[in-house]
Amino acid sequence: MINYDAILEEIYHEVKPLVGEGHIADYIPELARISPQKFGMAVQTIDGEIFQVGDAAEKFSIQSISKVFTLTMAMQLEGDGLWQRIGREPSGTAFNSLVQLEYENGIPRNPFINAGALVVADIILSHLGDARQSVLDFMHRLCSETDIDFDHAVAHSERETGFRNAALANFLKSFGNLDNDPETVLDAYFHHCSLSMSCIEVARAGIYLANGGKLLGNGERIVRANQAKYINSLMLTCGTYDSVGDFAYRVGLPGKSGVGGGILAVMPQEFSICTWSPGLNDSGNSLAGTKALELFTTLTGISIF
């Protein structure tokens, strides 16, 4: 078993000058209230160990990291039928781009851009009726704890200002790619994005992706091993928007970012890892978090490549 404590301390020291750089996602007003000086990192190994540094126990808005978990649910519910309605290619455009959706006839490029996640939310709604509580129950199951909730102020803030997401939902509906009404889908989506979790919780929640689709401890199966592979592949190719190439080059792990400043990354058969620092680069990925992950794979020599 590897002890990552010293490496995490070294990374913490090295990224400190970057913490506070970049911009906060202030297009969601409630997120603008977070201090840009935060930095946390947690590693969950498949042996059941947790290593952490900095603000790793502080809850933050996981935003688009939730797209990994809602996709997992949609795969459980819909199987391959999902891919009739969503593509599996990197978008090469911003996560909330409208133009691509129009010229591709309402089929989102992948499940990790906003349009794709809206279709995923629609699928959950159609199957389970309640796309809020069912996602919360799923997160509780993944983390073996019930202390995870939506941040209703963030969900409300996004609802008040989410005009682009509303446009995307209406576009999808006009192309026949939403079964439920756009308002209901948006409400579910905004709540999924507002999930409030710490680095430790996110890393723990993502461990099934490193562990062949199974939870630690009781070994409960969340998805089949090949589905865990599919999700990791999508994270690698689509998880960090239009800087996915730069992220893969530097970090060498499947990763999924959120505009709250969190990133979940996965090393199959080894660990899941989460970083959090709110300052974002131009593509909406945490600046210090990306650097920390790059340092982690460089210093440990562990990456998928």
Question: Binding residues for ligand GLN, per CB under 6 A?
Answer: 63-64, 95-96, 114, 158, 165, 193, 258-259, 284
Query: Residue 176 in contact with residue 43, Cβ under 8 Å?
Result: no
Give the number of residues written for the chain: 305
Structure tokens, 182 = 């756009």
| DSSP percent split of the chain into helix, strand, coil, nearest 5 | 50, 10, 35
Between 96 and 196, CB nearer to ligand GLN: 96
Location of structure tokens 């970083």? 275
Catalytic residue list contains 12:
no
Q: How far is CA 93 from CA 109, 225, 244, 283, in A?
A: 10, 30, 11, 9
- Please pick, among 38, 67, 214, 256, the residue that the annotation labels catalytic: 67
Q: Which is nearer to ligand GLN, 4 or 112 (CB)?
A: 112
Closest residue to bound ligand GLN by CB: 64
| Rg of the chain in Å (alpha carbons) | 18
Measured CA to CA, the distance from residue 29 to residue 42 in angstroms comes to: 27
CB 44 within 8 A of CB 209: no
**Least distance in Å: CB of 61 to ligand GLN?**
8
Identity of the residue, 155 or 253, whose beta carbon is nearer to ligand GLN in the bound complex: 155
Residue 197 has phi, psi (to 5 degrees) of -145, 160
Active-site residue (options: 4, 12, 189, 208) = 189
Number of helices (H) and strands (E) in the chain: give both, helices first.
13, 8
How far apart are the C-alpha atoms of 285 and 262, rounded to whole Å? Answer: 8
Per annotation, catalytic residue among 64, 134, 257, 272 = 64
- By C-beta, is 126 or 161 nearer to ligand GLN? 161
CB of 215 to ligand GLN, least distance (A): 25
Catalytic residue, from 19, 251, 259, 266: name it: 259
- Smallest separation, CB 128 to ligand GLN (Å): 21
Closest among 292, 241, 263 to 19, alpha carbons compared:
292
d(CA 175, CA 304): 38
Query: Is 259 tagged catalytic?
Result: yes
Q: Is 66 helix (H, G, I), strand (E, B) or coil?
A: helix
Q: Is 53 a catalytic residue?
A: no
Least distance in Å: CB of 7 to ligand GLN? 27
| 45 vs 91, beta carbon nearer ligand GLN | 91
Active site residue 64: yes
**Catalytically annotated residue among 4, 12, 208, 241:** 241
- Compare residues 31 and 295 and give the one whose CB is closer to ligand GLN: 31
Active site residue 198: no
CB of 202 to ligand GLN, least distance (A): 13
Residues labelled catalytic:
64, 67, 189, 241, 259
